Amino acid sequence: MSSSVLYMSMSLDGYIAGPNDGPENPGGDGFDRLHEWIVSPEGQFGRPSGPAGALWDEWMATGAVLAGRRTVEQVDHWGGDHHGMPIFVPSHRPPGPSVATYPLVTYVTDGIESAMAQAKEAAAGRDVLVHGAYTAQRAIEVGVLDELQIDQIPVLFGGGRRLFEVLGSRVELEVVRVIDTPEATHIRYRIRR
């Protein structure tokens, strides 16, 4: 059975994007610092060596992606290809015209519950990779997010976009796994229901 898992790199003070985050500056100032743990010494995005490599393998083994509209639009839907898996975007508005050239991208306009159900069906038993702060918050609120994989980066941003800015109520988590590396502490949580 598939689980929905939020994968997110975050500063110690809770930021997933730096100041001045927007379409012209995706991720904001200093955003790359949050992802240095998955960049090779040559500057290429890819599988890290050591224990963090297993996290990359999990990420690449997911069977579908559910991502927020703001996230996908800032990266032009990853060119329509996020590791070859279908991408589901919960949104109240239809997609822009460029999405027509991306057959793996589906906009779902009847709620996040429907978007997650479609993503889990498409994942065919594999996990669903979740991206986007707003989307994660809504998925937690309606009970369709199962786990969080937080890559805690040893930096204080001091400003930007927080992962959990507003939640409707308290959420209890269970620590499933901790992988400590010099670049980040990788913590996997299960949401208690």
Which domains are present in the chain?
Answer: 4-191 (3.40.430.10)
- CA separation for the pair 106, 118 (Å, rounded): 10
Please, what is the average pLDDT of the chain? 93
Residue 40 confidence (pLDDT): 66
Are residues 69 and 91 in contact, defined by beta-carbon separation less than 8 angstroms? yes
Strand-by-strand arrangement of the 105-108 sheet = 105-108, 87-90, 64-67, 128-131, 4-11, 147-153, 185-191, 173-180
Residue 102 confidence (pLDDT): 93
Residue 190 confidence (pLDDT): 98
pTM of the model: 0.93
Residue 54 in tokens: 């297993």
For 26-92, the three-class secondary structure string (H helix, E strand, C coil) is CCCCCHHHHHHHHECCCCCECCCCHHHHHHHHHHHCCCEEEECHHHHHHCHHHHHCECCECEEEECC
pLDDT (average), residues 108-127: 97
